[in-house]
Amino acid sequence: MNDAPSHVTDAELAGARVVVMGLGRFGGGAGVTRFLVGRGARVLVTDMANEDTLRTPLESISDLPVEYRLGSHDESDLDDADLLIVSPAVNRATSAFVQEANRRRIPWTTEMGLFVDRCPARMIGITGSIGKSTTCAMLHCILDSQPAKEIAKHEQVYFGGNIGRSLLGDVDAMSANDLVLLELSSFQLEALPDLAGDWPVVGITNITPHHLDRHGGYEAYIDAKLNLIRGMSRGARAVVGRVDGDVRERIMGLTRSQQGRVILTDSFIDVFDLKIPGPHNQTNARFAAMVARELGIEFEISRLALAEFGGLAHRIQYAECVDGVRYFNDSKSTSVEAIDTALQSFTEPVVLLCGGKDTGSELERIKNCTWKSVRAVVSFGDAAKRLADMIGGLDADNRPKVVQSEQTIAAAIEKARTLAHAGDVVLMSPGCPSYDAFSNYEERGDAFIAAVQSLS
């Protein structure tokens, strides 16, 4: 298999026939398509999803001269192709379309690969299993403050990557005086074995088992994450949060090979004045502040900036108070560890809504969650029965009442309403992917908020 991505110049893109595999719904596919057309490429977009599912991204590029193959991948679309752009959602190891491209020796890369090859600014890369989106948003809040700009000497901060925004459209406006903050997933890093550009600081918030079905095991997942350390600039700093001892040793070794330095966040215990709840957000704030400090920004400046941080949508987002019960949307939660993190954010009794696409053995770890404050659980979606059986099998001291719901979020909320008392919290923290019933976690979260608002 052709594992190495290609480094393609703008001159090579001009007039080239490029196949974009995976338009997706988060902006990367549309961003790379617009970029390629702007560089003079002849583009064909192919996606397994249909036109209705992809309506929003299709509308965003409706002004471009692009061919489409939706609802399937046809190998004939590779005829005369000069380059394949692979979405991070595509498993290259199992995709027949990618395998056929490899057989034909068609070069491939990714949206992020194209950006990293061209970025003229300093890049800060952050990855992790849990909390990286909020941590990155907090770091952006710090770096975008005027005092931070004056100290770290950057004119503008660009924020993108896994958070859902392609930065390819901004690359021509960037300069060496700017700073780029990238949230990077294991899927993106897997296809970035050799980072180009200037990476003075990188960060790994934590590493726990996640996406094992895609990576084929925990070791491969870790290895993908560590591409960020392998690609850091010579003499750079790696800020590292909660990781296992053997993974920490590997990070130390890789950093030493780059003549860099590891900064561990374990000893930083300061408390921040935050608007968003939970001890995990204190951890996120500390991590963001430590990354900022490696750019010369003192903690006091970070404190002032983070006091104004309002949080991200779909991440323990307050939705509504109905009959004295507060409802929170944590639709971004796609692992059982994320459920546990959300549960520990509240001291009030909680009625938990969890479920979605069944991820198999990963769900068994739900037995280890903190159940002491949970009054009841409503499981829903494809994983409803498995979750209900596992939680129902907890020992009597930890076992909350468990109700298995129908497929819809609205039905689950109606059941939760009957279980919650005034002063309680109803928390949707699914712990599973959304694609059993929704296109993405945002759509699922929006459905939750709409259903809650209908209660009042």
Q: Is residue 168 part of a domain?
A: yes
Dihedral Cα 113, 25, 455, 388, nearest 10 deg: -70
The one-digit pLDDT tens for each residue of the chain (456 residues) are 467 899 999 999 999 999 999 998 767 899 999 999 999 999 999 999 999 889 889 999 999 999 999 999 999 999 999 999 999 999 999 999 999 999 999 999 999 999 999 999 999 999 999 889 999 999 999 999 999 999 999 999 999 999 878 999 999 999 999 999 999 999 999 999 999 999 999 999 999 988 888 999 999 999 999 999 999 999 999 999 999 999 999 999 999 999 999 999 988 888 999 988 888 899 999 999 999 999 999 999 999 999 999 888 898 988 999 999 999 999 999 999 999 999 999 999 999 999 999 998 889 999 999 999 999 999 999 999 999 999 999 987 889 999 998 778 999 999 999 999 999 999 999 999 998 999 789 999 999 999 999 997
| Burial profile 247-260: b = 16 or more Cβ within 10 angstroms, e = fewer | bbebbbebbeebeb
Which of helix, strand or coil describes residue 145?
coil
Domain total in the chain: 3
Q: Is residue 186 part of a domain?
A: yes
Q: Please give the model's pTM, rounded to 2 decimal places.
A: 0.81
Q: Is residue 311 part of a domain?
A: no
* 343 close to 428: Cβ distance less than 8 angstroms: no
CATH number at residue 191: 3.40.1190.10
CB neighbour list of residue 156: distance below 8 Å, 6 or more residues apart: 174, 178, 179
Tell me the C-alpha distance between 95 and 93, whole Å. 6
Q: Is residue 2 part of a domain?
A: no
* Domain-ending residue, one of 306, 336, 361: 306
Specify whether 373 is located in the same domain as 420.
yes
CB neighbour list of residue 364: distance below 8 Å, 6 or more residues apart: 390
Specify whether 278 is located in the same domain as 227.
yes
Domain of 334?
317-455
- Burial class of residue 266 (count of CB atoms within 10 Å of its CB; 0-12, 13-18, 19+): exposed
Specify whether 35 is located in the same domain as 92.
yes
Specify whether 404 is located in the same domain as 363.
yes
